Structure 1
């Protein structure tokens, strides 16, 4: 776990401030896939079956989030939950139900690590600005 965290932090720092947003998203998605593969300990056969379902899952989430912008928040969250339930059953066809549940936990952990890293970066930038202003 420590190696994964260090690897993710290294890659997040390597994203740089001048990268194009879509490239950052691609890099972040690649990190997420690596993290989930390691966390779920996917075999080659499992990965071959799991990732196409995962891609469909992500596409449905994205579409629902985009369609729900500016609308009823509770309704949007219910739709997102329905998608997660649908794919928990789908993922359980490839993974055990416990590992399917582990996927959702690992996905949440990944996003929490990214959020923490972004907050730390923001704080560092603020500290640097403050030091420049003080001098």
Structure 2
């Protein structure tokens, strides 16, 4: 399963967890969970990539910049995908698909750019560990969320890529 789809699924699942609470309490609790998740991700990636304190100080701002840009591209790509193409003309479908190809190419270009930028801060071996650690972290979080009530059946399937 694509990393971006897994991340989207993760956030959708986390957003749905506190439904029984009032809206204000649910929003605050959701923010707390997202903050805890972000802290766990930072700790996990720091450990798996074996960042030194000096590397971490330089790496995290760069990585946060990268993930914000990657998240924006993923959001734009999701907005292009219509739920139902029945009401669209062939030309509209063609344009939407062509725009999605452009955005997917931009994702690849972004990853290549930051691959180079990361290597100025951490070793190529650490960059390789980063990609693996991101997938492992997402997989682990989805496994944990999958055991909670209200999680769609099979949502954590297909994570072994």
TM-score where L is the length of structure 1: 0.70
Cross-structure match for 1:98: 125
Tell me which moved more, 106-115 or 82-91.
Answer: 82-91
- Quote the Cα distance in structure 2 between the aligned partners of 1:64 and 1:57: 11
SS of the residue corresponding to residue 94 of structure 1 reads coil
Tell me which moved more, 89-98 or 67-76.
Answer: 67-76
2:30 aligned to 2, 8, 21, which one? 21
Question: Does residue 104 of structure 2 align to residue 77 of structure 1?
Answer: yes
- Quote the Cα distance in structure 1 between the aligned partners of 2:72 and 2:152: 33
- Pick 1 or 2: higher relative contact order, CA cutoff 8 A, min separation 6: 2
Gaps of 5+ in 2: 1-16, 19-25, 81-96, 154-161
- Paired residues of 1:88 and 1:101 also in contact (CA < 8 A): no
TM-score where L is the length of structure 2: 0.60
Gaps of 5+ in 1: 1-15, 127-135
SS of the residue corresponding to residue 120 of structure 2 reads helix
RMSD over aligned Cα, in angstroms? 2.4
Structure with a larger share of its residues in helix: 1
The Cα shift of 1:74 comes to: 4.2
